[in-house]
């Protein structure tokens, strides 16, 4: 992963807010990553929160099903 860059994103599903990193090739956009993804998005350094605000998971790696995703946005710094 040395020639990839981490991009922090927030993913919203019907039940969860997921914060983590996706790994993009230099010059790639989040949209490119989404278009090229298959059934799951790979995230690292992940926090999963219920929409009500309770944290339910912290993990070094999580796959998120594309079928469950409603919104993906880069996290504001």
Residue 11 belongs to a domain with what CATH number?
Answer: 2.30.30.100
Whole domain around residue 20: which residue ranges?
5-74
**Six token digits for residue 64:** 């998120």
Tally of domains within the chain:
1
Could you tell me the pTM of the whole model? 0.87
pLDDT at 77: 65
**Per-residue confidence in pLDDT tens, the chain, 77 aa:** 455 688 999 999 999 999 999 988 888 888 888 888 889 999 999 999 999 999 999 999 999 999 999 999 988 86
Cα separation, 19 vs 41, whole angstroms:
12
């Amino acid at each position: 992963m040395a020639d990839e860059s981490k991009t922090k994103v927030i993913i919203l599903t019907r039940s969860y807010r997921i914060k983590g990193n996706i790994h993009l090739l230099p010059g790639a956009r989040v949209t490119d990553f989404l278009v090229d993804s298959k059934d799951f998005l790979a995230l690292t350094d992940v926090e999963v929160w219920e929409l009500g605000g309770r944290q339910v998971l912290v993990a070094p790696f999580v796959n998120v099903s594309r079928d469950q995703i409603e919104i993906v946005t880069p996290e504001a710094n």
